[in-house]
Amino acid sequence: MVAGADAKRHAAKVVRRLKKRYPDAHCALEFDAPWQLLVATILSAQCTDTRVNIVTKDLFAKHSDVADLADMPLPKLERAIQSTGFFRNKAKNIKACCQQLVERFGGEVPQEMEALVGLPGVGRKTANVVLGTAYGIASGVVVDTHVGRISRRLALTENQDAVKVERDLMDVLPRKEWIDFSHRLIWHGRQVCQARRPRCDECSLLDICPRVGVEY
């Protein structure tokens, strides 16, 4: 891994290239309110954003606020989200999360990391998504499978653990880039730097990418 000041210079080059390649990158989950993004992000675990958007379009149309979703019978919620996978655990967490939002926060999604990660089904990744995308608060760097994989290929981290990857990225990236960097790297992972067959010949980062772990 690149170290020290060199790491920040390397990261800055990556940021500039990604900005140019994906100037309009944004969160693919569709929402109109912070609580909807929170629910959608919980549903997105081990599921595509496209599938989540299909499910939440109907779910949010029928249940217009946190209190309404909190009161939804658990079996009915399970059926509504079944196609997202792991639906029983997700339904339990979503219902409990919405109940706590109503009871503890007046139906509003808190804007503090500590409060968010105290909710059922909410870890740092989900909290970072909500704070960054819904509120514009750069609390950290969202690390999903794309971000972790590409960060390792780019030698921005050597870690596999998402929390450690996030820490490494926060060390080398300016805070103002934390939110958009994740969106851009996710887009890059979906379009170019795919898991099994990265399209390196089409990559705008090719000349600055060490391609760590890539067989070619």
The per-residue pLDDT for range 11-38, each reduced to its tens digit, is 999 999 999 999 999 999 999 999 999 9
Counting Cα atoms < 13 Å in the Cβ hemisphere of 167 gives 7
216: Cα separation from own chain's centroid: 29
pLDDT confidence of 216, banded at 50, 70, 90?
A: low
Residues 112 and 135 sit within 8 Å (Cβ to Cβ)? no
pLDDT of residue 2 exceeding 50, the answer is no
Domains of the chain: 4-25+141-208 (1.10.1670.10), 34-135 (1.10.340.30)
Which one of 13, 92, 144, 164 is the catalytic residue? 144
Q: Cα separation of 42 and 123, whole Å? A: 9
C-alpha torsion sign, points 46, 90, 57, 108: negative
Does the active-site annotation cover 144?
A: yes
Work out the number of other CB atoms within 10 angstroms of the CB of residue 207. Answer: 8
Which one of 125, 161, 168, 171 is the catalytic residue? 125
Does the active-site annotation cover 201?
A: no
